[in-house]
Structure 1
Amino acid sequence: MYWNDINASDEEVNALAKYLDVNDDGDICEEDFLAWYQEAATTVASETNAVRQALLTRRTVNNFDKTPVPDIVLRNAIEAAIAAPNHKLTEPWRFIQLGQETISKIAELNAAEIAKKDPEKGAKKKARWENIPGWCVVTCKKSDDELQQEEDLAAVACAIQNFQLSMWADGVGVKWTSGPITRSPEFSELCGIDTETEKHVGTLWYGFASGGLAQLMDQGPNRKKSVDDVLSSLP
């Protein structure tokens, strides 16, 4: 057996050789190698399928229960988010976790606007927003370069998708929202957003889904277009 093409230390190579030599005769036969290879290939296929399933089954969650989400889940999601591709490594994102005091102020701000037309609806909306267990506001750095700004916004969108997938993997649902109130100066002030230097891209509500994530996955992706509808090919 030749190890010249393996990018590993001598210690790692020796450990692998010992693992493959199942009958401990000092020789690695074809049967030994194939047994290991098939196991490794099966593991890779399983992991690949898990990633695809996360992409295909993730759903937007609209209704959350009141169970608090541990901070480690949020930190894991942000770690995944900031691994998103970004041209020239600009890292244009910022994540702001909101506490209950700030959430209540935003809920009141939104309810007051709604109450101008429908006081009862405003009160219901306030209660609903205050009961959403997790809020994370995401911003993007502003740039005077129009192309750079476009690329940075795309990068932040990728980061938000990574965030959602990480949360989903931990059994937590997310809703990406960007309603009218989030574009108001009052919202920016409450969240500590400097509108001269950064732009609000989305507010991420997160929490454990009422009824669990499984019942959402059964609803289907709710997409109007298939692969054939959106894929074209050129010679």
Structure 2
Amino acid sequence: MSVLAAAQARGRRGQRLSTTRVTLDELAAARRTHKAFGPEPVSRATLLELFDVARFAPTHHLNQPWRFRVLGPETLAALKGVAGEKEAQKLDRAPTLVVASAVLTGDLVTDEEDVCAAAAAIMLVLLAATERGIATYWRTPNVLRTRPGRETLGIPPGERFLGLLHFGPAAREPAPREREPVETYVEFLP
């Protein structure tokens, strides 16, 4: 049984799994991409707990360049209006949607570092959600790369959109997918 399934089976959504002594390795392996969610939104308090974990992502000079915007009903409706019918339907998959972005400085090296730091922060948030029994999905819909999509969400020109994060209870547990063995992506240099 996966970590997420165990958390859901206990029926204590939102409670940490720390009593089960889950290792980071197990937590990372338990994280899944969910495309079907139940209707209950994630509470503001729980979201703040998840985003608080992002503070510990590696970042140069502790500038914490990540930004998270939680979509409310009015904002979601406005985004659907600029997304087009097909994309608008996908925006209804999860009860809680969060836009993640990175603040850019205009310096190529700093911006590269900051995008990487923000991606690490996003991953920490996803792992924290998994640890709490919350299903997640990290998407990059095209509407958020458009000017109308960005303006609808208040993403300024100095930020790079990194993902639309879906959160909620899992409607079903996706089967684990086979991953490439470590030897395919690691090289030891002389």
- Offset at residue 63 of structure 1 (A): 0.9
- The 5 Å alignment of 1:52-201 reads 52-112=25-85, 122=86, 125-130=87-92, 132-195=94-157, 197-201=158-162
Question: Which residue pairs with 1:208 in the alignment?
Answer: 169
Give 1 or 2 for the bigger CA radius of gyration: 1
Q: Which one-letter code corresponds to 2:169 in the other structure?
A: F
Q: Percent identity?
A: 27
Question: Which residue pairs with 1:15 in the alignment?
Answer: none
- Offset at residue 82 of structure 1 (A): 2.2
Q: Which one-letter code corresponds to 1:145 in the other structure?
A: D
Q: Does 1:232 align with 2:170?
A: no
Q: 2: CA distance between counterparts of 1:166 and 1:90?
A: 21
CA deviations on 1:160-203 (whole Å, 9 max, x unpaired) are 000100111111111111121110111111111111x2221111
Q: 2: CA distance between counterparts of 1:222 and 1:143?
A: 38
Q: Which one-letter code corresponds to 1:228 in the other structure?
A: E
Q: Which runs of 4+ in 1 moved over 4 A?
A: none
Q: Higher relative contact order by CA 8 Å / sep ≥ 6: 1 or 2? A: 2
Check conservation: 1:68, 1:134, Cα contact below 8 A: yes
The CA RMSD measured in Å over matched residues stands at 1.7
Structure 2 unpaired stretches of 5+: 1-19
Check conservation: 2:30, 2:130, Cα contact below 8 A: no
Check conservation: 1:104, 1:130, Cα contact below 8 A: no
CA deviations on 1:2-22 (whole Å, 9 max, x unpaired) are xxxxxxxxxxxxxxxxxxxxx
- Offset at residue 210 of structure 1 (A): 0.4
Q: Which one-letter code corresponds to 2:108 in the other structure?
A: E
Structure 1 unpaired stretches of 5+: 1-45, 113-121
Q: 2: CA distance between counterparts of 1:68 and 1:180?
A: 24
- Please give the TM-score of this superposition, normalised by the length of structure 1: 0.68
Check conservation: 2:70, 2:99, Cα contact below 8 A: yes
- Please give the TM-score of this superposition, normalised by the length of structure 2: 0.83
Question: Which residue pairs with 1:21 in the alignment?
Answer: none
Q: Report the count of equivalent residues.
A: 171
Check conservation: 1:57, 1:221, Cα contact below 8 A: no
